[in-house]
Structure 1
Amino acid sequence: MLRCLWLRLSGAASVPGPGRASSRCSLLILCVSIRLCAASLGRSPWAEYYGTKSRYEVLSGVSVPGTDWLAPANCTVLQVNALIRHGTRYPTRKNVPRMVEIHQLIREQGDVGSSLVQALAGWHMWYNERMDGNLHPLGISEMVKLAKRLSARFPALFAVQSYKEKRLKFLTSSKHRCVNSTKSFIQGLESYLNLPDQEGGQWEVNDGLMRFFDHCEKFKNLVENNNTALHQVEIFKNGPEMERIMSNMAKKLGISPSAINANMVEATFYLCTYEFILKGVISPWCDLLEEEDVEVLEYLGDLKQYWKRSYGYKINGLSSYRLFQDLFQYMDQTIEESER
């Protein structure tokens, strides 16, 4: 799971009052991750395939399995840990040139008699490399609302006193979008608690924990900087499924299939996706693809993350040990303090 902001919050243990059971939870862990579900169906073509590039706000009012659990009445919530992805962002510097490439190809070689080509050629390319994955205003709003929802769900922990005593700890990676997501989360919390800006909301940049893969030399050597690590991904990108998509796109545009490559196909899907999540527009870029094509592209993205960040290589999991060690040590500390 990609992560950005880590929120830690501990509260003082309360003594059971008359009539209350003496047994209680020693710990509550809240893991917050963002995953698109079918709730977004109908909002945009193939929205269930957008993955981490989704409009996260779609899920805010929807019940997602596993998120409705609350501590039993005889339990006292002592701690919340939340590992949170950044809010909605702009495209990264890596993807923008590919978007420009496919747009330029259509303008230069597309069938001028095609209404689809005319719509795409006349479309304004407003993405640029300076955006480089920065947090979008929608992402700011998402983080503010998330802070308010968490505060409302755990009022005993998200309290003014806890905030002023700095029992809330915020860790973030150094990525610009992550730092700004953290600031926005704190802004939402302060707004909910009716506190002035920055009274207690301080954060710490800790790439050693939040971007552990950048600090693991073995991971960087075996996977990150290894040209053969994504060998299976390259095989798929040059396989029959992608060849079919390129052929269909070329037919719709009236250009040679050899002029289109796999990166352009991915860029087309990103253009369809970003136009909706950032502007709320169902653009003509979506018309270049069929649902079957989008399923293939979603699989391609999953395949890449499988080998680069997930179960493909053992070191991918081992590199996260420091993060989990830190988490469990903090949990143990909270339990010991509660028992004392």
Structure 2
Amino acid sequence: MGEARYSRQIPLIGEEGQERLGRSSVAVVGLGGIGSPLSLLVAAAGVGRIRLVDWDLVELSNLNRQILYTSRDLMRPKPFVAAERISLLNPRVEVEVVHEPLVPGNADSIVEGVDLVLDALDSLEARLALGDACQRAGAPHTYAAVQGLFGLVTLIVPGETPCLRCILPERPREEPAFTVGPVPALVASVSASEAIRILSGRGPSLAGRMLVVDLSSPSFEFIELSGECPHRPPEPPPRPAYFRRGDRLYAFEADPSGWERLERRGWAVVEESDAYVRLSGPGSVAVFYSDGGALLVGSRGEGDFREAVGGDLEDL
């Protein structure tokens, strides 16, 4: 496997390590400030299969730190844009797209069948659901987060290290994630380095300890995470057919041809592919996926959304 593509890293991880990477699989959950550089780094390193999980669209405010995307990608579904970029970067990587929000009812299926889960989420509720699913599956997973000029990274190994509920015994208040690009990029690099170590067979460096980065100084500090984990993850509820985040983002089950109803109401088709159809309407964007499901994004409340689509969201 001593090909030119990996010639600068094989002296560090070895031929066998590179082959291990090629046989390995990861789930990158969240494709924002951390997940966008993280997905590129593990793909460039030669990880064989990558599952990309996100349900959001690219927005202008993302571009200061989410380096996977460009201005041409605005209002396109993040996981499909990421899949395109990864295929251009390393065509040998097998890419799987999951275009739905992570909730307790679908978290088990998202972590199923991969060697390592890379948490790049920005919601605590979603992180806890992911952590519970990894505990049930016995799947090792990273925890990576940023706020302002601070970043955190650790590796959680079920049965060996404290779980995420141990690390976060009190739920911190959810706040907008203000940051500058170098902070999530650095955290993503550490997460990717840990993934490459594990998947190439060298073993983890962050199991049982957390790296805390403060780029205002800058400073780097390790915190030891010790003690037995007393938590038992709850059984997951059924997968819901309808999701919402605030008053601007809705995901729901829908017929793949539901977009035709919106087109008849004056919505304009702005992008059509084998994977999805994207439409623009009054103050809103809609995406209908060919494998089922739809997404509505905008600044409108749910009542306005229902009026805009001409009925119940669930009927589309």
User: Could you tell me the TM-score, scaled by structure 1's length?
Assistant: 0.23
* Largest Rg, 1 or 2: 1
Higher helix fraction (1 or 2): 1
